[in-house]
């Protein structure tokens, strides 16, 4: 293994949690050479030297970290989490938050915005049930670049065709040339913030629902566990954690337990009422 590979591996692991395995060495080349060239250096070893002298907030360090993130996302990704959101989570909070009339949602790796916007659209579709409620969506990501794109809410024809039903496209987007711009009123339902999951994030407050999907997969075991433990502390006692289709908390933490029959949906192990087993067809008995 080359010396600079070792350097980048350590650098990325410290900065973003990314685990770079030797078989991914080609990614360094393809993703970092453009960054290197822009910085006026012509090779990865040179880039490594420059980085080794960089401070935490050096733009070059940030560019390198961002360039190595994988930002793929699509609207209503995997579908099931959004069905669960509508049919399990929202009905639960409609009862348990009837006094506060407020539900706080966090997208912990929002990337280019498809996930928070899919939630915002679902909320809007439920407007009749949620009238008088405050639904707050906080969307965070490590990468400033993807957040800028998310905030702009402008998608290519290719992007809007991955997961967005055509009727929703007509209803919530405005076409401009060959791009599609999301309705500004949906944009304003979401608060955007840059956030590294390796850092402390208690300042975000308490959430009822956390979508943390397709980001832990890039971390090592220890980092995954640590992020989940921190997330647990920010979840309301009857809150939900949603993970990606190929992800699980099993083996990483005992703080969460899988929700019965709901893949990818978790609640706190300490939760008293089995919130997760609540079904829309079996309304909870009021004691």
Partner 1 sequence: MKTCLVVDDSSVIRKVARRILEDLSFTIAEAADGEEALRSCKERMPEAILLDWNMPVMDGLEFLQRLRKEPGGDKPIVVFCTTENDVAHIARAMRAGANEYIMKPFDREIVESKFQEVGLI
Nearer to ligand SAM, 123 or 271 (CB): 123
163 binds, among partner 1, ligand SAM, none (CB under 5 to 8 A by kind): partner 1
Q: Is residue 120 at the binding interface for ligand SAM, with CB under 6 A as the rule?
A: no
44 binds, among partner 1, ligand SAM, none (CB under 5 to 8 A by kind): none
Determine the interface stretch with ligand SAM among 153-161, 195-203, 258-266, 274-282 (rule: CB under 6 A): 195-203
Q: What angle do CA 73, 76, 81 make, to 5 degrees?
A: 110
Other C-beta atoms lying within 10 Å of the C-beta of residue 192: 20
Q: Is residue 4 at the binding interface for ligand SAM, with CB under 6 A as the rule?
A: no
* 43: Cβ contacts below 8 Å, ≥ 6 apart: 36
Mark 68-107 with x for binding to partner 1 (rule: CB under 8 A) and - for no binding. ------x----x----------------------------
Q: How far is CA 32 from CA 20, 115, 150, 157, 194, in A?
A: 13, 27, 23, 28, 22
Nearer to partner 1, 118 or 267 (CB): 118
Q: Is residue 45 at the binding interface for partner 1, with CB under 8 A as the rule?
A: no
Residue count, binding to partner 1 (CB under 8 A): 14
- Kindly tell me which residue out of 63, 73, 138, 262 binds ligand SAM, with binding defined by CB under 6 A: 73
- As given in the structure block, the two tokens for residue 223 are 């980092």
Q: Is residue 77 at the binding interface for ligand SAM, with CB under 6 A as the rule?
A: yes
Report, in Å, the least distance between residue 71 CB and partner 1.
16
* 205: Cβ contacts below 8 Å, ≥ 6 apart: 104, 234
Q: Is residue 57 at the binding interface for partner 1, with CB under 8 A as the rule?
A: no
Q: Is residue 178 at the binding interface for partner 1, with CB under 8 A as the rule?
A: yes
72 binds, among partner 1, ligand SAM, none (CB under 5 to 8 A by kind): ligand SAM
Q: How far is CA 139 from CA 30, 142, 173, 243, 281, in A?
A: 28, 11, 20, 15, 31
Q: Is residue 199 at the binding interface for partner 1, with CB under 8 A as the rule?
A: no
Nearer to partner 1, 75 or 218 (CB): 75
- Cβ(228)–Cβ(187) below 8 Å: no
Which residues would be at the binding site for ligand SAM (CB under 6 A)? 16-17, 69-73, 77, 109, 111, 115, 141-143, 146, 195-198, 213-215, 218, 244
């Amino acid at each position: 293994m080359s010396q600079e590979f070792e350097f980048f591996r350590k650098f990325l692991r410290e900065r973003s949690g990314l685990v770079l395995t030797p078989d991914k060495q080609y990614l360094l080349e393809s993703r970092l050479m453009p960054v290197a060239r822009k910085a006026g250096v012509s090779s990865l070893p040179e880039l490594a030297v420059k980085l080794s002298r960089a401070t935490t907030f050096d733009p070059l360090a940030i560019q390198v970290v961002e360039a190595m993130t994988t930002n793929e996302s699509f609207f209503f990704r995997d579908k099931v989490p959004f069905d669960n959101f509508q049919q399990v989570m929202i009905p639960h909070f409609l009862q348990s938050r009837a006094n506060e009339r407020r539900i706080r949602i966090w997208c912990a790796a929002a990337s280019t915005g498809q996930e928070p916007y899919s939630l915002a659209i679902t909320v809007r579709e439920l407007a009749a049930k949620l009238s008088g409620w405050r639904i707050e969506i906080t969307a965070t990501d490590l990468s400033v670049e993807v957040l800028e794109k998310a905030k702009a809410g402008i998608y290519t024809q290719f992007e809007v065709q991955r997961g967005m039903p055509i009727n929703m496209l007509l209803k919530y987007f405005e076409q401009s040339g060959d791009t599609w711009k999301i309705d500004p009123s949906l944009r304003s339902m979401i608060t955007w913030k840059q956030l590294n999951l390796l850092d402390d994030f208690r300042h975000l407050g308490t959430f009822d629902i956390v979508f943390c999907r397709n980001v832990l997969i890039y971390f090592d075991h220890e980092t995954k566990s640590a992020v989940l433990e921190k997330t647990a502390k920010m979840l309301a006692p009857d809150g939900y954690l949603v993970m990606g289709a190929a992800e699980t908390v099993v083996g990483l933490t005992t703080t969460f337990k899988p929700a019965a029959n709901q893949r990818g949906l978790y609640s706190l192990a300490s939760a008293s009422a089995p919130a997760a087993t609540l079904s829309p067809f079996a309304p909870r008995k009021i004691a």
